Amino acid sequence: MNEIMNEIEGIYAVWLREAKIYVREKERLISSVISPLLWIFGFGAGVGSTVNDISGYSYQVFIYPGITVMAVLFTSLFYGIYIIWDRKLDFLKEVLVAPVSRASVFAGKVLGGVTDAMMQVIFLLIIGLFINVPLTLPVAVAAFLMLLLISIAMVSIGLVIGANLQSPEGFSLVINFVMWPMFFFSGALFPVSNLPAWLAGITALNPLTYGVDALRGIILGINHFPIYLDAALMLLFALVAMGAGILSFRRM
């Protein structure tokens, strides 16, 4: 019992530190708000003015679920870079030498990254109300939960990459090769129903496709795959990513 309490307090300690730093580093907060706004208003409204409505929704509204997923994807994956800074500044040693299991340290870090991402989600859900996205409370809650699952998976992937690399430069390089393909081949910016075969094949292999599909289903009622398949695959992906994360932290 005491042991379990120790681990929970360890998770809480790591999370609390991340949360405090998130609030104190204003740059992080500001950049995470500005980039999705650019996509929704700059890209969505701009392209939307020349593109026909898709399934009865304006292009801006059609890509809204994809943009929220993108915001979560970018923030969550990039969060992994902080583990490299922690290690460079030797702060990580204090945590690694504590009598707390690596699984708990990892869990605390994941919660920290998820907190960052979900703050952004809340902001984006509010924006959604102003651009005529059909958001009711149950829809918002379901979307939030789905995005939470995606965030857990992506923060874990980011941390796996961060835990296995030594330099922030290397991390940026690797993460770009993970992030952009995942984003472009997820159907975030286009419907996946009438793609050429090669593109459909790639999108079907991309775990994020199912996240985007689930979100679009929840918010706009447009599903390409059954929603339970989306959710199940995303859950499986999150579990695998978390397992890889715990292993990486044990080796650190």
Partner 1 sequence: MVIKTEGLTKKYGKLTAVDGLNLEVNEGEIFGLLGPNGAGKTTLISMLCTILKPTSGRAWVNGFDVLKEPGMVRKSIGIVFQQPSVDDLLTGRENLAMHNLLFGVPRELRKQRIDEVLSIVNLEKRADDLVNTYSGGMRRRLELARGIMHHPKILFLDEPTLGLDPQTREHIWEYIQELAEKECMTVMLTTHYMEEAEQLCDRVAIIDYGKIVILDSPQTLKNNIVGDVVKLKQQSPDIDSLRKLDYVKNVQEKDGLLYLSIKDASKHLQDLLAHTGTIDFVEVRSGTLNDVFIHYTGREIREAEAEGGFWERMMKR
Minimum CB distance to partner 1 smaller for 89 or for 197: 89
Pair 6, 100: CB distance under 8 Å? yes
Q: How far apart are alpha carbons 226 and 219 in whole angstroms?
A: 14
Residue 6 in the binding site for partner 1 (CB under 8 A) = yes
Select from 20-28, 45-53, 115-123, 181-189 the region that touches partner 1 (CB under 8 A): 20-28
Closest residue by Cα to residue 71 from 179, 166, 185, 171: 179
Residue 178 in the binding site for partner 1 (CB under 8 A) = no
First to last CA, the chain: 27
Residue 247 in the binding site for partner 1 (CB under 8 A) = no
Closest contact distance (angstroms) between CB of 88 and partner 1 is 10
Which ranges of 25-101 would DSSP assign to H, the alpha helix?
26-37, 45-48, 59-62, 64-78, 81-88, 91-96
Closest residue by Cα to residue 212 from 240, 198, 233, 241: 233
Residue 16 in the binding site for partner 1 (CB under 8 A) = yes
Residue 25 in the binding site for partner 1 (CB under 8 A) = yes
Pair 120, 33: CB distance under 8 Å? yes
Residues 1, 99, 137, 194: which binds partner 1 (CB under 8 A)?
99
> By CB under 8 A, how many residues form the interface with partner 1?
23
Minimum CB distance to partner 1 smaller for 35 or for 101: 101
Reduced to 3 states (helix: H, G, I; strand: E, B; else coil), residue 134 is coil
Closest contact distance (angstroms) between CB of 112 and partner 1 is 13
Longest dimension (CA), the chain: 62
Select from 15-23, 138-146, 163-171, 239-247 the region that touches partner 1 (CB under 8 A): 15-23
- What are the backbone angles phi and psi of residue 98, rounded to the nearest 5°? -75, 150
Residue 27 in the binding site for partner 1 (CB under 8 A) = no
Minimum CB distance to partner 1 smaller for 2 or for 52: 2
In 52-184 the beta strands, taken as DSSP E runs, fall at none
- What are the backbone angles phi and psi of residue 194, rounded to the nearest 5°? -125, 55
- Looking at residue 135, its amino acid is L
Reduced to 3 states (helix: H, G, I; strand: E, B; else coil), residue 4 is helix
x/- site string to partner 1, residues 59 to 98, per CB under 8 A?
------------------------------xxxxxxxxxx
Closest contact distance (angstroms) between CB of 91 and partner 1 is 5
Minimum CB distance to partner 1 smaller for 92 or for 152: 92
Residue 19 in the binding site for partner 1 (CB under 8 A) = no
Closest contact distance (angstroms) between CB of 103 and partner 1 is 13
- What are the backbone angles phi and psi of residue 193, rounded to the nearest 5°? -80, -35
Binding site for partner 1 (CB under 8 A): 6, 9-10, 12-13, 16-17, 20-21, 24-25, 89-100
